[in-house]
Amino acid sequence: MLPILIPTTHVGCSAALALTMEGLEVTEVIMNDYHHYGRMFTEQWQSKQGFILVEHDVVPWPGAISELDSCTKECCGFEYPNGIIYKEPRSGWCTSLGCTKFATSLVDRISYNLEWQNRGWDELDGSVLATLEDYEVVMHIHHPPVAHVKATTLIYRRVG
């Protein structure tokens, strides 16, 4: 299986707990600053070793990571719901870096983009996906979607 990296702010995040309960080996990488995610991603890409990225607030269903690992596509992932933030509901689905596989053949074939290491955690996805698009790489989407911890925050309304 490809290495599973989880960028997180603390050890024992939701993604790591779910995946280790499934018996998978994960590496939680503590993000020390705004640009750490971009540096970690760039370093992994430079290693020419494929990897599976699961963000700390994304919880794959049992078997989802094995499905990504066995997929023949070079870049694939799962959709997940956009976050619902108190008094600011956002709807729809996103297919960002939250639960994505980058095959060894892909990271070996496409050079990393220097700007990735200078991107903050909230900008990295756009930069990576734009680079892949430049190489006509289209992310293959698996179904059903995975969970997004942010999406579990509900807006309660008083009835009556």
**pTM given for the model:** 0.88
Distance from C-alpha of 13 to C-alpha of 108, rounded to nearest angstrom: 30
Position 155 confidence tier, pLDDT thresholds 50, 70, 90: very low
Per-residue pLDDT for 123 more than 80?
yes
Task: Tell me which amino acid residue 139 is.
Answer: M
CA atoms within 13 A on the CB side of 48: 2
Position 154 scores a pLDDT of 46
Position 158 scores a pLDDT of 45
Bigger pLDDT: 118 or 151?
A: 118
Distance from C-alpha of 81 to C-alpha of 147, rounded to nearest angstrom: 7
Q: Please report where in the chains the tokens 């600011």 appear, as a residue.
A: 88
Per-residue pLDDT for 44 more than 60?
yes
Mean pLDDT of the chain: 89
Distance from C-alpha of 54 to C-alpha of 97, rounded to nearest angstrom: 7
Position 64 scores a pLDDT of 98
3-state secondary structure of 34: coil
Position 149 confidence tier, pLDDT thresholds 50, 70, 90: confident
Bigger pLDDT: 91 or 55?
A: 55
Q: Answer for the pair 7, 78: CB distance below 8 angstroms, yes or no.
A: no
